[in-house]
Structure formats: C-alpha cells, structure tokens
Chain A
C-alpha cells in the first residue's frame, strides 16, 4: 500500500521534474519504509577511529546555529548541523542532503522537497517536516538575530513554507528564483523538540551558548558536542545517528573526535602544525606556505595550493554623494574620482603582476573584475587583465585634462596637485603591502599617495558610516560561487556597494544597466542564459571600473599526510567541508 503510493508520487514527479536526485535505497523493496534512508557517498571508503585536531584563530563563541556569525563558531556549528540541499564544495553544484530529492514547478516559483525518512537528531529524536517548518519559522522571524535572513527574501517578500506531509515540504517564492536550490546550503535544520520552548519564551538568541550542557543540544551533523574547556578547546564527538554511509556501507563519520583549539597567532599556528600538535590548517599565507614547503616530508604533512579563491581585493574611490558641505576637500577630489578616465588610468598604472609576485609570492591571480578565476562556471575569460602601462595611464590622464608640472607632479585642470590618501587595514598585512606598492606605482604618473593603515573597525566606520575617506583597499569574499554573491556589491542599493553606498537612484546609465542585469540573472533559470547576462555585467564593470580590482589570493591549506579524503575546495570550509569522510589512513596516525 505504502509502496504503491510512492510509485504514484514518483511517476508524478517524473513529469514535472527539473532536477531529481534519487538516493540509493529509495526504491529498495518493502522493508525500505522502515529502514532509514541513508545517503550513500561515493568517496574512497576509509576506516573508523582517531581524532583530528584543528586550529582556530579565535575561540568559537557559540553553538547557536541561528545567530552564529563569526568564522570559528561557524566552523564548529557546521560540523554539528545538517542542511536540506547542500552545495558540493568540489563540484560547486547542489546535491541532496536531508532532502533526498526535490522538484521545481514549471514557473520556477515553488519547490517541493522530499525528506529522508528514518533520520534522527544526534540525541536520537526523529527528524521530520515539522522540524523544517519550525526552522524556517525561526529564520524568518524578525525578532531573531539570523544574519542571513535577507537571503530568504526575494523582491522583499519572504519565502513561504508549507508542510505537505510528514516528509514533504513545499517552498514558494513570489517570483522565479534562479539560485533557489543554493539558498538551502548551510541553513541548519533545528531540533524542534529542544528549541521550540526557548523560541516561544523569546530566549532563542541566547540559547546554546558555550556553557550549555552537551545533552541539551542536538543536530543533524556528523558530530556533536562532547566537551568545552574555556579558552583551550572544544571537543566534538561522532554522531552515531548520522545519515550518511560510505560505498562499503560503513556508517559515517569515520573520526571519533574533532578537537578545535584556539591559537591566536598565525605564526604559532604554523609552528604547532609543524610540531604535529595540530593536524590541519585551513588558511595559510603564501609566505608561510613557502616557508613550510621544505619540511613537508620530514614532518609528515602535505601542503595544498587549491588555486584562486573567492576573495577579491580592490582599490575603491569615495564616490558617495552629498559630501560637498560636510567634507568639501573630499568632494573636490571626487571630480577626479568620478571621471572614468582617471580610474582607468589608475588601473593601468598599477602593476598587478607585482602585487601577485611580491604580496602573494606568486600564489594569487590578477583581476579585471570582482569575479575571480576560482569561479570557473561564471568568469568571463574573454575580459583581459588590464596591463601595466604607464604610457596608457598618462595618455588617459592627459585626455581627462590633467597635466604635469616641471618636477613631474600631476596637476588637475585647475592647477591643483593630485594627491590622495589610501586607507588599508592594519590587521591585513597583504592589503597594507598592496598600498605600499600602489603608492610607488602612482608616483610614476606623478600622483602622490599617502598610505594610511587604520585598525579595521575604524576604517570600516569611515567607509560605511562617515564617508570620510578618499580611497581605500578592501577585500570581500563571497560564500558561494554564484552571481548572486555579487548582487550586494554591484547593485546600486546593495549593502556592500562600498564606493557609493545607498546610491539610489543609480548615478550613471551604466550603473542602471548593471542593476537591471543583476535582477535579470536572478530570475533567469537556465545556466547559459544566466551566464550570458552575468558576462555582460562583467564587461561593464571591466570598462567602467567603479573600483579598481587588483588580485585574488590562492586558497592554501595544509594537512597531515596520514589523512584520507582530504579534498580541499575554494568554498568555505576549504578542508573541513567533508569532515564526515576524512579518516586516518594508518593506525599509527591515529592519536
């Protein structure tokens, strides 16, 4: 009876299907309904046991999957939680997770997700559609500090969630949404049985702190909390109810324990890794990477250069409006910054190859736009990287009405010398170094630049609040390889449209065009069409240079050589994304 119902539903699905992933075991005989619908992975089968020690720059601060915002806490929480649809870090495409399959309606507005049956939270309580509905109720609630809420709003309207059955949930949007499946990635499914009460009492924001007893927390991730030693370490242990099995049918994860230790200094992280006290390092600077290379064999570790990541560094000029009365000096200089020829000239004057070589020790890629070579599916590779040409820069400056004095100093049409200040964050050595190189580069076209390093928050406050700056070097990184990640930076009203915040309506025709194209890609459902739209965006950005895009660093990681299934990726977490599959190859490597 149950089986026939499923057949009918399956047949119905097949007609409306855009994507259907079937996990193994779904259609396997009559006992299937009582057997948990585990996900079977295709990776190399490993052996269970052992412990992995992971370095974090700061202490993880919370286990709360809703309010978590800082990187170390996220690293921990993501090991403890599961999502419905997951982005495979290796292929950069979506794949089934807690939802074993899904269908999209033809108009692209509704998604029906079918959940795995027989799955349990790490405390043994079953997971079903009620948990999903509860989770989204929480995430959409205005009173809850959920940092990614805006992703769940399309055109200002929230996503609607509806339970169709104990294992079926329907999501509806007000308009078609191209990257709908990607939106589910890393949205943790919450245990209703544990969090509903604090939610109703209005205490959810404070729930699951570091002092919460481990048995009061549960999730759908491969690990669960075992022990917290303040200031020293957080220990996660294997979740025996985890819903994945390997190709041999062994239950995942392999590792017994994950230990997160906080090591504030980068240098100390490297030293402790080399000493074997830490077994994976997720973010290495190029300099440390090179310094560690000679001892790889002797100290039994392996270094991985994963190639350019999603971080892009850029030089932005202050293009905010309305500074005339408040900051007249900056407003005066804005007449230079607003001239596209000036920005293009700066772009030609900057030696991006030198940045890659001297700042990233060759472990980086020069950029033409904010799309890095790491975004293989989306980069418009026909756009050339601006060459380093002082001659072209001078030509452009001349055509824009600038001229040179006898001593080589550049002056504008009013005879005022061209001087400005570039801000860089003191806590990011790479960007401070870029400022030093650019300072020297711009000297060659007669521009005198002050490089000022400021403590990060002071600098951000100037850029986003007071607008009291002339130019700055910033870096941003998307959390996913998808055009939507650029939405906030490129749209004139976006929150990280840093060079001109709250630019409503768009100042320039090309900005209006970018706005329009970015909205268009949002609802373009097929990949080639979407790619074409996004290529157009990149071409406009490369031509207009709203900011001068500089370079993108490679993702550099290191792991003990005895670890199996280490497959680093450029999307967070570079190394730990498949922590459920990582295993110790040699029993000797187990600790």
Chain B
C-alpha cells in the first residue's frame, strides 16, 4: 500500500521537472542565445517592493543597472529606472514544446530592460533561461544514454547469465575490455568524422548515443551476476527440474529478478550521464554554442575567477540536484515494490 502512495508523490515531482523543461520557452523570460553585451556577468536582479524614495509598491519591481564608471562588470542600480515585473507578457518568440509558435512569457519586465533572476553569463545571457533550456538537453541526453546502455546491458548480461559456458565467458571478457578502455578516444574520432554541416544538436545526440552504447559493460556484468546467483535459487532449480527451457527461465524468472538491479542502475546512470556531459564539454564534444546544457554551464562555473568573483554562476550547478533526488527516489520505490511483489 504505502510504496504506491510514495511512488505517486515521486511521479508528481518527476513529471513536474520534465514539464518545466518542456515548457522552458514559456517559463523563461528570454531566449537562451540572446546576448546583452552591456551586462556581462550581471548580478541576479534584486526584486524590490520599496523604491529608493521609500514608497511601497504592491507590484514587485527591479531597477535597471548600469556599469560603474571605469569597471567592466561592477553594476549599480539606477533609481530613476524602475521596471515593474509583469506576468503573462508578450516577448521574444519561441516554440512551445518545440512545436507551437508563441510569444507569451510567464513573467518579465518591459523591454528593453532585462530581468536576471540568476544573473547573466559573460555574454549577458540570462542564466535562468539557460538553465531551463539546458534542462531540455541534459535530461534528454541522460535518459537516452541510460536507456541505451541499460538495454544493451540487459540483453547481453541476460544472454551471458542464462547460457553460461563459453558464451558467458566470451561476453564477460568483452565487457571487461569495454569497461577498461577509455571511450573518449572514440568520441574524439566520432566528432571528427561527423560532417560539419550537421547541426550542433544532432551531432550532440549522436555523441550521446555512442556513449550510451559503449557503456553496456557494467550493467551487463551486474545483470549477469544476479542471474547467475538466481539460477542457484531453489525455485529456479525446481522449474529447471520440471523441464523448463532456457528462454522460459530467462523470461519468467531470471530477467524479472534482475530488474531491481537494473532499475537501481538506471537511477544511477541517468544522473551519471547528465554529469558525463561536463567532461564532454571539456573535450569540446559537448553541445555547441549557443545551446545551453547543464554540462556546459557547469563547466563554465568551474573556474577560479567565476567562483571568486561571480558566485551566482554556481547556482545552475544546483539544478541537477532535485532531478537526481527524484530519479533516485523513483528507483528506490520501484525496488521496494518489486521486492514486496516477490
């Protein structure tokens, strides 16, 4: 009973996160690529209710900021430029969920002023908008790679565990090689042979898919281990004694048994692949400019000058945490369910 209720709570959280990513265009006040060259590394906008004269406003507002004389990114608020925050206002065009053209935004300030909830990057691009758009890319990349790695792992690990003997031997030796070889070599090659006309998005998807397909080694080993120990279990032995075939055993007993392990793996793999993207950006294999992803935003934040001078650039680094919590919680609940069903 209880696990089901918990599951629904987690589901709500997960659906919420993915919906937010899907509707990024509506929630984000700006496009991810729009630069504001007068506001590089702008601080997060302060949201006021009381103006410089001490007057209270019911509608929250921000002050426009301008550069302090003689500095490059030291800003002061201009008391004469009060910009009320409006909701459901028209702004930059976007495609809702990548399909429906629209220009309605959840919130914003009248153009040409700009609101930076999480500050701006070195090109004056709104970090809040980039986090939301980045979610689309990172979540998709994580899921795609994890699903590919796991399907390969289940298939190969299942076959190895069920057949045993030389099949098992050959598969496991190959898996070991795949685990030991650093895959970024292949990735360097993959990106280099892709045609340059290919859009950055499709190139990225391809690279991610390759990563997923290459990482079947560990899941396969785990699945195979579970199946091997499962074969020794009494009821499986019994079924075999009644003359059950290999395919039947695999389908009815062994694979379901490995699902709990597979799901724990999945929950660990999605976040791991989201993070793997940081390394990709580092090698120049990440998604190309101007597209944002959590990987390249995090890579941006991991610099001395950012950490000391522009701390707010670190805020996007926290974006994956709720996603990770949700995915892990989901895996836990599913595992509990499977166990109680056994």
Contacts and interface: CB of A to CB of B under 8 A. Distances in A.
Partners in one complex: yes
Interface of A: 266-267, 270-271, 285, 287-288, 290-291, 329, 351, 354, 357-358, 361-362, 421, 423, 425-427, 432-433, 435-437, 439-440, 450-455, 458, 461-462, 468-470
Contacts of B305: 285, 287-288, 290-291
Given A432-B289, A450-B196, A451-B288, A458 B191 contact: yes
Given A357-B40, A458-B192, A461-B192, 9 more contacts: A290-B305, A357-B72, A361-B72, A433-B122, A433-B123, A436-B123, A436-B289, A453-B289, A455-B192
A354 B122 CA distance: 11
A318 to B, nearest CB: 11
Interface in B83-129: 122-123
Contact of B123 (A270, A271, A423, A437): A437
A291 B304 contact: yes
Contacts of B191: 454-455, 458
Nearest to A268: B304
B58 interface: no
B103 to A, nearest CB: 16
Contacts of A354: 37
Contacts, number: 89
A277 to B, nearest CB: 15
B199 A454 contact: no
Nearest to A288: B305
Contacts of B289: 432, 435-436, 439, 451, 453
A521 B221 CA distance: 69
Contacts of B282: 426
Given A291-B304, A450-B196, A455 B188 contact: yes
A454 B200 contact: no
Nearest to A289: B305
B309 A440 contact: no
B3 interface: no
Contacts of B308: 291
Nearest to A453: B284
A426 B290 CA distance: 14
Contact of B199 (A291, A432, A439, A450): A450
B284 A427 contact: yes
B197 interface: yes
A433 to B, nearest CB: 7
Given A287-B305, A290-B72, A436 B290 contact: yes
**Quick one: which of B192, B282, B284 has the most chain A CB within 10 A?**
B284
B47 interface: no
B283 A426 contact: yes
Contacts of A287: 303, 305-306, 309
Contacts of B35: 437, 440
A368 B195 CA distance: 32
A440 B284 contact: no
Contacts of A455: 188, 191-192, 283-285
Contacts of A361: 72
A290 B309 contact: yes
11 contacts: A288-B304, A291-B305, A437-B123, A439-B290, A440-B33, A451-B200, A451-B289, A452-B196, A452-B200, A454-B192, A455-B188
Q: Which 10 A-B pairs have the closest CB atoms?
A: A426-B284, A267-B304, A291-B305, A287-B305, A453-B284, A458-B192, A421-B196, A436-B289, A451-B289, A291-B308
A267 B288 contact: no
A451 B122 CA distance: 17
A329 B197 contact: yes
A461 B309 CA distance: 37
B304 A271 contact: yes
Interface string B175-189: 000000000000010
